[in-house]
A = this chain, B = another copy of it.
Amino acid sequence: MKTSVGEIAALVEGTLIRGDAGVVLTNFAALDQADATCVSFYGNPNYREQLESTRAGLVLVPDAGVSAPEGAALVVVANPVIAFDRIVRCYGVTPPPFEAGVSAAAFVHPKAQLDTTVVSVAPNATVASGALIGNGSRIGAGAVIGQDAVIGEDCLIGPNVTICQGCIIGDRVILHPGVVVGADGFGFEFVEGRHRKIEQLGIVRIGNDVEIGASTTIDRARFGETVIGEGTKIDNQVQIGHNCIIGRHCIIVAQVGISGSTRIGDYVTLAAQSGVAGHLVIADRVTFGGRSGVIASVREPGGTYFGYPARPFKENRREAMRIKQLGSLFRRVKALESGTVADSGNEE
């Protein structure tokens, strides 16, 4: 990005009320992160303090009556949030445009099924025999599409992604770099002092409009399917075990782990670093707080749970309060033992 205060004012159809139109801007940032090279925006009175101390070179503001440091040029616009978004879209780093065709440096098996005039396969990607790539999809550099795998239409398969044999990906799915779909589930029998592998002969099926973050791993089913429901969004470094059924429109935040054969309903949220044990059932619209450890099924829809073991939010908070008050409880018991009564305050 290389622009100026004047160009930005023109782009957002705003009015420069203070500052030099010729000042060069090379970046954008939030008010508290901006320096003199940055355009920023003030769209919410909650950020008044940040506005008052910002070092931004230019701030988009909703009216002339704001208080900002002298160093900041000011441009008045009707809606600073929308105007800023316009700047970001204009100057931000966008993904490379879709270019149809198979790179000469890619390997596409002659028995792969794809229309090279409407799909994009980057250098050093591998598309194995029988794999099917839907129209409008792009396969990133170094990605590997296994034998007989199916990729829907308009998908974005990132660099160095691996999709193993037979797995099925819906339409408009985004897989970020390093994702692994369809590695074997973790299943062994203990026979005569050794762990003997149980063959994993199912697949992973990923619904339409799913997005999966970098280095997330989703194991194939022992038999049948591991399923990620339509519209579900999964963050980075999430692990989903074999035969899990994840519902539609869920949010699964970074570093969550879900053990095998668990079924998660629709619109479930799992905050970061949570874990869910195997063979459980979680109802629709349940929310688990960060780092929850879920070791029992949750049959009632819509609740909020925290802690390890995960419990209803209020119960978890009550217990945390009691633990916090333990010091005073010890003192109260000591007072009772010595024949006096301590002040119990307003504790339980």
Quick check: B272 and A272 within 8 Å, CB to CB? no
Docked pose: A319 CA to B255 CA in angstroms: 28
Shortest C-beta distance, A299 to chain B (Å), equals: 14
Docked pose: A129 CA to B123 CA in angstroms: 12
Set of chain B residues within 8 Å of A295, measured between Cβ atoms: 290
Which of A8-16, A45-53, A69-77, A197-205 lies at the binding interface? Answer: A197-205
Shortest C-beta distance, A20 to chain B (Å), equals: 23
**A195 contacts the other chain (CB 8 A):** yes
Shortest C-beta distance, A8 to chain B (Å), equals: 14
CB-CB under 8 A for A160 and B160, given A27-B225, A95-B165, A326-B323: yes
Docked pose: A291 CA to B215 CA in angstroms: 21
Which residues in window 82-106 of A have CB below 8 A to B? Answer: 84, 88-89, 92-96, 103, 105
Interface size class of A (residues with CB under 8 A): 35 or more
Set of chain B residues within 8 Å of A261, measured between Cβ atoms: 30
Set of chain B residues within 8 Å of A211, measured between Cβ atoms: 184, 197
Quick check: B128 and A188 within 8 Å, CB to CB? no
Docked pose: A97 CA to B282 CA in angstroms: 38
Supply 9 A–B pairs (Cβ within 8 Å), ascending by A.
A29-B223, A92-B199, A93-B148, A124-B144, A290-B293, A322-B330, A329-B330, A336-B336, A337-B344
